[in-house]
Amino acid sequence: MQVPGFDDPKKLKDLIGKTGKLSFHQVRTDKTAEEAARTGRPPGTVIVAADPNDRFATAYLLVKRPIVAGEDLVDAQPGFDQQTNEPIVSFRFNSAGARRFGKFTKNNVGEPFAIVIDNGIDELTKKRDVHVISAPVIREPILGGSGQISGNFTIDGVNELSILLRSGALPATLSIIEERSVGASLGADSVAAGKLASMIGLAGVIVFTVIVYGLFGAFAVVALLVNLFMLVAVLSILQATLTLPGIAGIVLTVGMAVDANVLIYERIREELRAGKTAINAIDTGYSRALGTILDANITTFIAAFILFMLGSGPVRGFAVTLSIGILTSVFTAFVLTRLIITFWLHKKKSKGLILPI
């Protein structure tokens, strides 16, 4: 079980150890809870208050047998209402529970039903904590097998309630085999280590490129730095959070950007060996390398797109960074370096120029 954002392991274990079970009951409208308390409850009914600790709280006379029991609950997640933006708990039934709930709501439109939570034995009062969360009126049949619980909840309240409901739906008791907690400090240290590794890798790439390709290697380094600035700028516009998978995508982008320049420069070298002039060698080298660069980057972009569509969390972060890096790499490797080399050639103004590559 993973619970992101919950920073109190002891409280979490206490919550999971409880048997928070959700059940839906029909509300008797022929007699109030106060009348039933004075004259006696009808057979098969039970009186449940909205707050068991407040004797003045609203009480309900419910049919004891639930419409849908907690065992039919498949999932419960915290969220926010799209219209009111208040914290809610979204729940979902299995197929059997969905059928029973749909049939009941279809036959009882205009009648109320109660959502009851059983939190087990309270450690302070030593009494069973059972109360009505909400008693809404059925406006229309609910046939989808899912719904939401709303009320005067806080964000922490809906988180705790959703955990209670998910753990209460499990037919097994809690047995802790292993426990791990990842805090913000560990995450910050990991990101810092990733940044350091990226800087060291970038420095190594710069040194290698300049040694092998000389001045043209320096042009490639300038394009590489611009590429990184563009990548970070786009991520800032998208308000993306820098994570370890994102850093991995940036490191891969650096390698792919240099790879594109290597393909171009090696093609230029081949043209120079064939006896072409500097300008013709550069023009032919860029033209012939473009197809190879596009093939490599398009296939990688397709893989990144599939990762984004099918992945989640860290995988998506890696895919986003890689996709943006591919676009900026192609631009800087093919357009920016060619522009820099063109300005350099115009400055030299010599057809018999020997390229420093």
- 196-249 pLDDT, tens digit per residue, is 887 888 888 888 888 888 888 888 889 888 988 888 888 888 877 667 777 778
pLDDT tens string 145-171: 887 777 667 777 777 777 766 665 455
Tell me the pTM: 0.46
Burial 208-228 (b: 16+ CB within 10 A, else e): ebbeebeebbebbbebbebbb
pLDDT at 53 over 70: no
pLDDT tens string 299-344: 888 988 898 888 776 788 888 888 888 888 888 888 888 888 888 8
Share of the chain above pLDDT 70, in %: 80
Joined together, the tokens standing for residue 22 give 């959700």
List the alpha helices (DSSP H) in the chain: 9-17, 33-39, 95-107, 155-168, 184-237, 244-273, 278-310, 314-330, 337-348
Query: Could you give the domains of the chain?
Result: 9-168 (3.30.1360.200), 184-348 (1.20.1640.10)
Give CA–CA dist 174/255, Å, rounded.
47
End-to-end CA distance of the chain: 57
pLDDT tens string 258-290: 888 888 888 888 888 888 887 888 888 888 888
> What H or E segment, with its residue span, contains residue 59?
strand 59-63
